[in-house]
A and B are shown apart, each in its own frame.
Chain A
Amino acid sequence: MAETQNVYEIPIGPIHPALKEPIRFTFRVEGERIRGVDIRAGFAHRGIEFMAMKRNLIQTLYLSERICGICSISHPITITLAVERAAGIEVPPRAQYLRVIYSELERIHSHLLWAGVAAHELGFDTLLHLTWKVREQVLDLLEELSGNRIDYALPIYGGVRRDVAPEQIPKVEAMVRYYRGLLDELLDAFLRDPSVEARTRNVGILTPKEADSLCAVGPTARASGLSKDVRQDRPYLVYGELGVKAITPRDYGLEPRGDVYDKAVVRLLEVAQSLDLIETCLYEMPEGEITSFPKIPALLAFLKKAEGEGLGWHEAPRGEVIHYIRLEAGVEEPIVWKVKAPTYSNLMSWVPMFRDQEVADIPIIAASIDPCMCCMDRVHVVRDGSPGTVLKEELLRLSRAKTDRVTRHLSPVPRHGGGL
């Protein structure tokens, strides 16, 4: 067996308890040391960019929300920014503040989600349960504001779809207070726990030089000490006025090492930063319209006439999201829609991070960039060895056909013509 050679292969994925979404790693392992890794993505590839070519822009907006459940604010915000730029739509000031509030709420829930997952990867389930318990608070608030725990359907071209009502403001304030009071405990539980430190310190190191040349983004780059944050560097919405500063481990009084511990430091401190941003926006937000196109048919008609191309960018919880869109007059569908999610940029940084680490470190290193496969992969179906790209209509038809088959199979009396 494998013992005859020193180096043998361990497959992790596409389905594995360490992975929350499908991806395949093939590790070449010597004893407990990783000597090399081969990464294959695409298991959650649904051909979303391809699907958009058959949809009008409003439908595409909803499609963008379904790229990923966690980034269901980041992608819509980015595509609206790109389309607004291409079509020349102005966004009312209040809507810009609201977008910031919503995206910072998303950041809090995403970072807490990550913290729980990271704890689970370390085998520290207590911390997982506690973190996810406190995460409920921000999800409740998102539900209060949008009606949903995920897939909020908030941004729309030219503004947002829901306002924060005066009676909801105390609830937002209560959430901010709740997390402020909890932050010390969270930092204590993650950063001062000896067993967590033993598992994360000097594990999965990404040097600043590697982070820079591999174009890493988001907390992955910031943990290596690079002060890069789209909100800080490339202003959009009202982030330029809010004075956002990229958070690195230096803000916690540590010299950045780029290991998993540093990534936890950055993400937890960003929760505090998001709380400040939400509070500022809540008080500075001017009164006024929340969208420049209150009527959807008017918006669609305007977009159909629009011509041009545009870029939208946003700092999602995991890093830089960028969308490119090209519109042509008279065509409802986008001609090109390119989505770039943070994990796409961070994919390459896994290779140096895994080098010479132990098998035991695989889950936490894989989790440390907070990978989002469904964001990165965007249908391909393989059946009977024949791969095929499936359009939505096809899927719908297939699904209906299957429902039919199942019903026929289940019902004791075969269905005839009109009635059951």
Chain B
Amino acid sequence: MTALHLVWQAAAVLVGGGLLGLVYKGFDRKLAARMQSRIGPPLRQPFLDVGKLLVKESIVPKDAVGWLFKAMPFLAVIASFTVLLYLPWGPFPAILRSGGDAILVLYLLAVPAVAMALGGFASGSPLATVGAQREIVMLMSYEFPLAVAVVGVVWRLATLGGGPAFSLGAIAAAPLWTMVGPLGVIGLAILAACLLIVTPAELSKIPFDIPEAETEIAGGLMVEYSGTYLALFYLADAAKTIAMAALVVTLFAPYGIAGLLGLSGAGGQAVDLLFHLVKIFVVMFAAVTTVRVAMARLKIDQVARGFWLQITAVAVAGLVLLVLDRMVVG
């Protein structure tokens, strides 16, 4: 593969991922509105929002730590778009891949949250400070169950000898469900459920939109951001939504339908890619849109307790089942 080819592919994924993120955000808003018996914004509204933000004045508050305040939106965008490069896209393998990229993706997913928290602290507003503190607590709460779920799956695959260790590419190529015993299937189902619960938390959506909590701290972390910087965070969020949903799909449902339809070649790849995007959409709809419509915002202590005790316990139980499965099946 030539370097030029790689650059071309990367550009396609980055631009495509960004556009897709905004399109999905449009669907998310429209569907949520319909469920709330509202008409909702047009599907292209996220594009209009970003467009408008980009031409608006970007204000840096007097009390803010300027360079940090301005740098963080860029960091968030870079990190969340980089994740897209490490994820396989249906029939197409990831642009960047190596052993252990599953672990790398975990770290990259945490970076936008840290960037937002630092940006919040740097903005010098008490409301943003509260938001930033909450973001950090959130991060510490959901990271462990997230790590358990991801690592559990890739570790089990490694024990079965599938491809390079801790690689997302390997898991996409070899779905685990049929390779493990009954205990393993239960364990995998539990981990999948945990990951779905972590998804809205990772994306700071209701009931976990605590760091931004509009009615409490007026947007929290984001309260001082405007113009281009806010647009960047918006894009980072769109990309992260896609990345998180794609991660769930890659780990637990990396199946294609081209084979079933008897298609091969370019047509098959196109169908599989489309199917992959549909799966991403389904995950987003189930874990983000419906959840945020059906629930009230929780409080930070309720979330921290829930993730540290209940969700972690459930995730560890899933992991234990996988370990037992390894002992039984081998």
B37-A122 in contact (CB<8A) = no
- Binding stretch for chain A, among B16-24, B112-120, B213-221: B213-221
Chain B residues lying within 8 Å of A16, measured Cβ to Cβ, are 218
Decide yes or no whether A124 CB sits under 8 A from chain B: yes
- Binding stretch for chain B, among A354-362, A372-380, A386-394, A405-413: A354-362
Decide yes or no whether A126 CB sits under 8 A from chain B: yes
**Per a CB cutoff under 8 Å, which of B124, B214, B293, B299 touches A199?**
B299
B215-A126 in contact (CB<8A) = no
- Binding stretch for chain A, among B126-134, B174-182, B190-198, B238-246: B126-134
Chain A residues lying within 8 Å of B214, measured Cβ to Cβ, are 17, 123
Decide yes or no whether B207 CB sits under 8 A from chain A: yes
A-B contacts, CB under 8 A, total = 87
Chain B residues lying within 8 Å of A336, measured Cβ to Cβ, are none
B126-A120 in contact (CB<8A) = no
Q: Give residues of chain A (31-46) contacting chain B, Cβ–Cβ below 8 Å.
A: 31-32
Decide yes or no whether A250 CB sits under 8 A from chain B: no
B213-A360 in contact (CB<8A) = yes
Decide yes or no whether B295 CB sits under 8 A from chain A: yes
**Given A17-B214, A123-B207, do A199 and B296 touch, yes or no (CB 8 Å)?**
yes
A18 to chain B, nearest CB (A): 5
B301-A358 in contact (CB<8A) = yes
Number of chain A residues close to chain B: CB under 8 A = 35
Number of chain B residues close to chain A: CB under 8 A = 32
**Per a CB cutoff under 8 Å, which of B129, B206, B210, B294 touches A360?**
B210
**Per a CB cutoff under 8 Å, which of A1, A123, A358 touches B296?**
A123
Cβ proximity bits B267-295 to A, threshold 8 Å, 1 near / 0 not = 00000000000000000000000000111
Chain B residues lying within 8 Å of A123, measured Cβ to Cβ, are 206-207, 209, 213-215, 296-297
**Per a CB cutoff under 8 Å, which of B37, B296, B302 touches A130?**
B37
**Per a CB cutoff under 8 Å, which of A8, A195, A359 touches B217?**
A359
Decide yes or no whether A9 CB sits under 8 A from chain B: yes
Give the B-binding residues of A (Cβ under 8 A). 1-2, 8-11, 16-18, 29, 31-32, 119-127, 129-130, 133, 193, 195-196, 198-199, 358-363
Beyond A122-B297, A198-B298, 11 extra complex contacts between A and B, CB < 8 Å: A10-B127, A11-B126, A16-B218, A123-B206, A123-B209, A124-B206, A126-B36, A198-B302, A359-B130, A361-B299, A363-B215
